[in-house]
Amino acid sequence: MASEEKVELKRGLRDVYIDRTKSSFIDGKVGKLLYRGINIDDLAQKSTFEETIYLLLYTELPTESQLKAFQAELIANRALPEDILSIIEIVKDSHPMDVLRTGVSALSAFDPETEDISTEATIRKGVRLTAQAPTIVAAHARIRKGKDPIAPSTSLNQAANFLYMLFGEEPDPRDARLIDKDFILHAEHGINASSFGARVTASTQADLHCAVTTGIGVLKGPAHGGAAEEVMKMALDIGDEDKAEDYVRNLLKDGGRVMGFGHRVYRATDPRAFHLKDDAKELGERKGQPKWFSILESVTKVMEPYTRRGICQNVDFFSGAIYYLLGIPDDLFISIFAMGRIPGWTVQVVEQFENNILLRPRLQYVGEMDVPYVPIEDR
């Protein structure tokens, strides 16, 4: 007989507050997001990823000289040990997120402070991993095609350097700015699933490499970081804006979900989506391919009844189209999210360490009780 224990289940930890944070604030009803108190709209329009990382890790915006020194620190940490490139070669047929997860995990063997979980060392490691992650992703993208990896630039910013290492030429500054903005918008987002995973890992006092490895693993799923790729697959499947209505209605009729819509916290449009919407439209026009944006607009129209129920566009609805139009292979889309999120995972891990408590919820047992053990010869 099952246990009679009466418990209040909080499945999915929906609306459960597990701790306090000073890193980011989300108002899901109105669609507002702040990093360290600063509105994401201001950061997306006026800031850079480098400045945003600094804000998250060191709690305030940098002065000019602080920013210069910080950019130099990121640049100095971009190169990968040769052994990491060899590991990438060995696992090159895996999904890029698996390669990134493996690369980050393996970097623990080369970091001078892997086991040091002090705030200072954790932040330094967060900076190093933020600098190294694009090099892993870009190196893998080339190695799997039989091409040599391109050494990181010693002058370009994070976003431009990623495109440079991926394509082998300095990007159009407008393209680099789109990735820069995308990184800013993905940098931090409270206790989302991957940050929760990172915090659970940190709560056992495991180090940042373990926590970021966890975060990357959790982010990979289509309900979290994988949605951008799925949205673009949907747009490609639809193929023409006139076919969007039938496609979406059939998908919903069969109980499917429209990727890039819905969010556990937002009941209004995700404030990050507004910025990417304008970008996706402009980029489509600039590249002579306005059709993808038109298809996404048609999908949005069909989703209007859902929007009224609080299932609105999220950050991933337009990001996939931007990556696609920039010529980035679709299986790299989640890795771009991950590259942007490393500062956020680092901040969450620092906060966890600074006021640590083991994260250890419970499960209600509903299986059989007191089943007799039958020796193997009698089964």
The residues that are catalytic are 224, 263, 316
Tokens 């990181």 map to which residue?
Answer: 152
> Which one, 283 or 303, has the nearer CB to ligand CMC?
303
**Residue 257 makes contact with ligand CMC by CB under 6 A:** yes
Contact 259, 238 (CB under 8 A): no
Nearest to 183 by CA among 264, 64, 65, 275: 275
Backbone angles phi, psi at 29, to 5 degrees: -75, -45
Q: Which of 177, 224, 233, 267 binds ligand CMC (CB under 6 A)?
A: 224
- The least CB distance from residue 44 to ligand CMC, in Å, is 16
Q: Which stretch binds ligand CMC (CB under 6 A): 49-57, 82-90, 259-267, 319-327?
A: 259-267
- The least CB distance from residue 125 to ligand CMC, in Å, is 24
**Residue 192 makes contact with ligand CMC by CB under 6 A:** yes
- Tell me the C-alpha distance between 335 and 328, whole Å: 11
Q: Which stretch binds ligand CMC (CB under 6 A): 3-11, 165-173, 209-217, 254-262?
A: 254-262
- The least CB distance from residue 192 to ligand CMC, in Å, is 5
Tokens 């100095």 map to which residue?
Answer: 76
How many residues in the shown chain lie near ligand CMC by CB under 6 A? 19
- The least CB distance from residue 257 to ligand CMC, in Å, is 4
**Residue 349 makes contact with ligand CMC by CB under 6 A:** no
- The least CB distance from residue 142 to ligand CMC, in Å, is 28
> Which one, 207 or 270, has the nearer CB to ligand CMC?
270
Q: Which stretch binds ligand CMC (CB under 6 A): 31-39, 237-245, 255-263, 276-284?
A: 255-263
Among positions 298-337, residues that touch ligand CMC (CB under 6 A) are 311, 314-316
Q: Which stretch binds ligand CMC (CB under 6 A): 35-43, 110-118, 258-266, 322-330?
A: 258-266
Q: Which of 159, 210, 227, 283 binds ligand CMC (CB under 6 A)?
A: 227
Torsion-angle region of 59 (φ positive above 0: left; ψ -120 to 50: alpha; else: beta): left
- Dihedral of CA 19/22/28/29: which sign? positive
Give the DSSP H/E element, type plus range, for residue 34. Answer: strand 32-35
Query: Which residues touch 5 (CB under 8 Å, ≥6 apart)?
Result: 364, 365
Query: Which residues touch 4 (CB under 8 Å, ≥6 apart)?
Result: none
> Which one, 224 or 287, has the nearer CB to ligand CMC?
224
**Residue 261 makes contact with ligand CMC by CB under 6 A:** yes
> Which one, 37 or 256, has the nearer CB to ligand CMC?
256
Contact 33, 272 (CB under 8 A): yes
- Tell me the C-alpha distance between 84 and 62, whole Å: 32
- The burial of 93, by beta-carbon neighbours within 10 Å (0-12 exposed, 13-18 middle, 19 or more buried), is given as exposed
Q: Which of 56, 259, 312, 321 binds ligand CMC (CB under 6 A)?
A: 259
Helices 158-167 and 49-58, interaxial angle, to 10°?
130
Residues that bind ligand CMC (CB under 6 A): 12, 189, 192, 223-225, 227, 257-264, 311, 314-316
